[in-house]
Structure 1
Amino acid sequence: MTYGQQPGGRRPNGQEPYGMAPQYGMYGAPQNGAGTMYNGAGGAYNVQPTYVTERAEHVSMTRAYGEMTIALVLTGLVAIVTQMTHLYERFIEATGMLGVWLPMIVEVGIAIYLGMRVMNMKSSTARVWFYVYAALMGFSLSVIFSAYSITTIGYAFLISAVFYLALTMFGLTTKANMLKAGPVLVIGLIVLIVTQVVLMFVAPSNTMLKVVAAIGIVLFAGMTIYDAQFTKRVFAQYASQGPEMIKRVSILCALNLYLDFVNMFLYILQLLGLSRD
């Protein structure tokens, strides 16, 4: 007679009778919800809380990257429609120089507002603001169709997608803690922004523009790895605070991931465009 078939028998340590042990499903999780597995020595250890936590984090990560993907698709569609209808040109003709700066100012305002208030608003409201931001970004980015060829834009997007995926996988699987590089990345971002503002008032050489574009690619590659690890860490932190909170965190993380991709794409596009000129 095999183990577990002795009727009425009890284990030596006085636990449940043989043949009455909890039934286990996939991943060793007890189907009766007990959350306990027994080792060969009769000891017990808990597995279900770990499994549930990992499952919740996986679902949350999928949600964040899904929100980011939807926003990118929306940005692309709005950019294409805006270019086809010449809406941006008409907007500039009607508003003058104000129209050049107004969309960017509104985008920055929405990004700051979301970053500061997303944890205190309804997740549905945060999602609407995020998609509005993505649509406005598409409206502004429609000008790339006038500055670059479709082929160059296509190559830049493909390279960005592959590069972004590789960096994300690295960030989620590496044991190195990229979160420690946060202050360095912030300083690099500030320096990059200041440099670009200065270049607006001078006539930079082609080589200088290439260097700035290359630095931007490296910087946002680091930001992509950082935000992948940040997303994983923040979901682990808020995993027990309910689905509504997870939805809010998803929007915040999706915004960060979205900005990483868009900026990397723009710098790769600039570098390819300069190389082809």
Structure 2
Amino acid sequence: MTFGQQPQNGNPYYGGNQQYNNVNQQYNNNGQYQQQYQQAPYGGQQYAYATANGPAVMDAQATYSYDQVQQARRVSVTRAYGEMTLGLIVTALVAVLGQNAYYDFLMATGNVGLIGLCIVQVGLAVVLGARIMQMKASTARIMFYVYAALMGFTLSSIFWLFAPQAIGVSLGLCAAFFFVLTMFSLTTKFDMLKLGPILMVGLIVLIIAQLVLFFVPGTTETTRIICAIGLVLFAGMTMYDAQQTRMLFQQYEAQGPEMIKKVSIICALNLYLDFVNMFLYILQLFGSRD
């Protein structure tokens, strides 16, 4: 057994510059076994074992980098859900504080004002989804929170139709339902992204059905059936968007922090819409009208 150059310039275990070069262990009975320690690039330690059958290398730096990537992805997904939560808080505050202002707005503008408000909301969502990659992340964030505030202004009308207790219980049920669906979709091996076309077709059919009911009011049972279908559909959309959020961050993570911020906003918008729609369907199914 021979030993090469020993560590220099300080304690090899505490604070010194530690290097291992040409450290060999050699056995010549039935074959040759060599063990080498080499300093890997970027501060990582590479362990190389060479035997008569060939080399086997394990790079600790690669394992460390993999852990860093996974941690960055978890942080990015958490950021998207954080943006969604802030949007929901803005919506709730505006809905609670803007009840009288919304009533005065409708009295002054009538159906024209209501339709105009809906057009503005849809326009903001479409522009944000279509042009977010061309705008600054700060501009996209402002547009998202403006959209959330307009949604809250519109949803303030639920306080005229439902008891506060029903609204609170429905909100709690929706939050619990949303959390369970998100955890399931992020941990299951089932690929919800494959169901995207089916969910989109279901969404189009649901919109058409609601437009028909708007002009031709149906029975209470018909309304409940539509709400139940909508709840199931947006439960599927929630799981789909949760997995899509993770996929989008993996796709754009190499393009820098600015792109990650943009992806966070568009993912937050998708998740926000899932939550709001589920809440409204739960409220109509289980809420008692005041």
What aligned pairs does 1:214-253 form with structure 2 within 5 A after superposition? 214-253=228-267
Q: Which of the pair is proportionally richer in strand? A: 2
Whether contact under 8 Å (1:37, 1:47) holds in the other structure is: no
Whether contact under 8 Å (2:37, 2:46) holds in the other structure is: no
What aligned pairs does 1:1-277 form with structure 2 within 5 A after superposition? 10-12=23-25, 13=34, 15-16=36-37, 33-35=42-44, 38=47, 43-45=57-59, 46-83=62-99, 86-273=100-287
Amino acid aligned to 2:204: I
Whether contact under 8 Å (1:214, 1:271) holds in the other structure is: yes
Unaligned runs of 5+ in 2: 1-5, 8-19, 26-33, 51-55
Does the residue aligned with 2:36 lie in a helix, a strand or coil? coil
Q: Which has the larger radius of gyration?
A: 2
Deviation at 1:273, TM superposition (A): 2.8
Match of 2:13 in 1: none
Amino acid aligned to 2:37: E
When the two chains are superposed, the root-mean-square deviation of aligned CA atoms in Å is 2.1
Render the CA deviation track for 1:33-77: whole Å, top value 9, x for unaligned: 434554888622321221121111111101100000000000000
Amino acid aligned to 1:145: F
Displaced runs of 4+ in structure 1, greater than 4 A? 6-9, 11-14, 39-42
2:83 and 2:68 map into 1 onto residues whose CA distance is 22
Number of matched residues? 257
CA shift in 2, pair 1:43/1:132, >3 Å: same
Deviation at 1:15, TM superposition (A): 3.2
Deviation at 1:109, TM superposition (A): 0.3
2:106 and 2:228 map into 1 onto residues whose CA distance is 30
Given the two structures, how large is their TM-score scaled by the length of structure 1?
0.87
